[in-house]
């Protein structure tokens, strides 16, 4: 069965709407909500939070994006740890020099 062109949900048999442009391009909609958001309101699925496209882009339900984000986060955490550790050494060194 086709997926909704806007939100990405599977269309159950006998439900939804197939919208065919004069050019022959076909869009499938699971609900009037999706049709209105796409055609009347002119919204892009990537910018609407409740669509599959948005979730994939943000990586909230797994995939490559999550892995990349976590790697970046770990690198940032490592940098922060190093940055936090260095001043302490300097302070200790300074204290020992004063004594």
Least spacing, CB of residue 9 vs Zn ion, in Å: 5
- Distance, in Å, from the CA atom of 49 to the CA atom of 26, rounded to the nearest integer, reads 23
- Distance, in Å, from the CA atom of 20 to the CA atom of 38, rounded to the nearest integer, reads 14
Q: Which is nearer to Zn ion, 9 or 54 (CB)?
A: 9
Q: Which is nearer to Zn ion, 8 or 59 (CB)?
A: 8
Q: Which is nearer to Zn ion, 9 or 48 (CB)?
A: 9
Least spacing, CB of residue 52 vs Zn ion, in Å: 9
Pair of tokens at residue 81: 């740890």
Least spacing, CB of residue 63 vs Zn ion, in Å: 21
Contact between 1 and 10 under an 8 Å Cβ cutoff? The reply is: yes
- Distance, in Å, from the CA atom of 3 to the CA atom of 96, rounded to the nearest integer, reads 69
Per-residue x/- track, 11-40, Zn ion (CB under 5 A): -------------------x---x------
Question: What residues form DSSP beta bridges with 3?
Answer: 10
Binding site for Zn ion (CB under 5 A): 4, 6-7, 9, 30, 34
């Amino acid at each position: 069965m086709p997926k909704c062109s806007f939100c990405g949900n599977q269309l159950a048999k006998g439900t939804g709407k197939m919208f065919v442009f004069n050019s022959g391009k076909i869009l499938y909609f699971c609900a009037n909500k999706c049709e209105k958001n796409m055609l009347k309101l002119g919204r892009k699925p990537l910018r609407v939070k409740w669509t599959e496209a948005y979730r994939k882009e943000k990586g909230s339900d797994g995939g490559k994006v999550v892995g990349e984000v976590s790697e970046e986060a770990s690198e940032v955490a490592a940098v922060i740890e190093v940055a936090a550790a260095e001043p302490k050494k300097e302070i200790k060194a300074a204290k020992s020099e004063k004594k």
